[in-house]
Amino acid sequence: MQLEAQAFWLPKAGNSVEEYEDAVAYSPEQNLYAVADGASESSFADRWAQMLVRQFAAAPPQDLDSESQWTSWLTPLRHEWHDGIPWDVLPWYAEEKARQGAHSTLLGLAIYPPVPSALKRIMRKLAFWRSDSEDLPTRPYTVVTVGDTCLFQIRGGELIESFPIERSQEFTARPILVGSGLEEENPVRIFPPRLHKGSLSPGDTILLATDALSFWLLERFESGARPWELLQKLDTQKDFTTLVGQLRKGKTLKNDDTTLLRLHWPTSRLSTISGARLQKGKHP
């Protein structure tokens, strides 16, 4: 069963669509998903954010935990970004700004094929596998991130995972970002991204969100609400535009480029029917 993936996005109020600097890309076939947030204080950050997500969704580093692989993965992208700048025609300030490089967050998610129930049963017997999810299939995933774009995992209506930020006060005005600068012109910190491994069960929802929406979600959660329910209900881009507009108006959502990539693993038809039967039996 393929995951249902849907992206929603809205530029900062007052900015045009062309000025939107977040980026989303995904490959359902390869089960690779990426969201990035270009730092608006840098220039050509929109292109840098797009390059990062596209490349992640097409061909991420083979070993997501390898610093050297990340460095060699980034190098050709940095050259491509640099070569795409029209240096000859830039005025002095635009040239100097571009020489500082563009910066962006990057969150990449790789979801692997389901672990078959039969195999899980065997593994459990051999004490290789411990899981509460009985015989339901699960899908392992790995998420990597640089910066404050977040992953939230919802199961049974509850938030069970929040990565890499768990509390709203952990957001800062200056997150660590991936820079586009070439080494010789603008040394950048060599980094391994933060990495987390988890597993998906049928019925789970994953929300990948840039910082404004992530901050809102955690802040509302901390005050006892279940804000993800509003995001799970979204059907169309129009719904998202309306919701974000309301939240911005109410000053609960920061005016910023706002992006959500929602993934859902639908429960099987059988389990839906049995759920309905149970419901019916309870309330004849």
Q: Which residues bind other proteins (CB under 8 A)?
A: 14, 19, 39-41, 43-44, 46-47, 91-94, 96-98, 100, 172-174, 183-184, 187, 255-256
Contact 50, 23 (CB under 8 A): yes
Please report how close the Cβ of residue 103 comes to other proteins at its closest, in angstroms: 11
Q: Which is nearer to other proteins, 173 or 278 (CB)?
A: 173
Please report how close the Cβ of residue 101 comes to other proteins at its closest, in angstroms: 12
User: Can you name the residues that pair with 196 across neighbouring β-strands?
Assistant: 143
Q: Which is nearer to other proteins, 161 or 211 (CB)?
A: 211
Please report how close the Cβ of residue 71 comes to other proteins at its closest, in angstroms: 13
Q: Which is nearer to other proteins, 47 or 78 (CB)?
A: 47
Residues 6+ positions from 181 with CB-CB distance below 8 Å: 78, 99, 100, 101, 187, 188
Q: Which is nearer to other proteins, 67 or 183 (CB)?
A: 183
3-state secondary structure of 208: strand
Q: Which is nearer to other proteins, 187 or 245 (CB)?
A: 187
HSE toward the beta carbon, residue 229, CA cutoff 13 A = 9
Please report how close the Cβ of residue 165 comes to other proteins at its closest, in angstroms: 16
Q: Which is nearer to other proteins, 132 or 184 (CB)?
A: 184
Please report how close the Cβ of residue 172 comes to other proteins at its closest, in angstroms: 8
Contact 150, 162 (CB under 8 A): yes
Q: Which residues of 172-201 are buried (b: 16+ CB within 10 A; e: fewer)?
A: eeebbbbbbbbeeeeebeeeebeeeebbbb
H helices of 130-251, in order, are: 211-222, 228-233, 237-249
Please report how close the Cβ of residue 148 comes to other proteins at its closest, in angstroms: 11
Report angle CA 182, 184, 190 to the nearest 5 degrees. Answer: 60
Q: Which is nearer to other proteins, 19 or 135 (CB)?
A: 19
Please report how close the Cβ of residue 10 comes to other proteins at its closest, in angstroms: 15
What's the DSSP call for residue 284?
-
Report angle CA 146, 76, 144 to the nearest 5 degrees. Answer: 20
Other beta carbons within 10 angstroms of residue 281's beta carbon come to 8
Q: Pairing state of beta strands 4-10 and 258-264?
A: antiparallel
Please report how close the Cβ of residue 98 comes to other proteins at its closest, in angstroms: 7
Q: Which is nearer to other proteins, 27 or 186 (CB)?
A: 186
Other beta carbons within 10 angstroms of residue 87's beta carbon come to 11
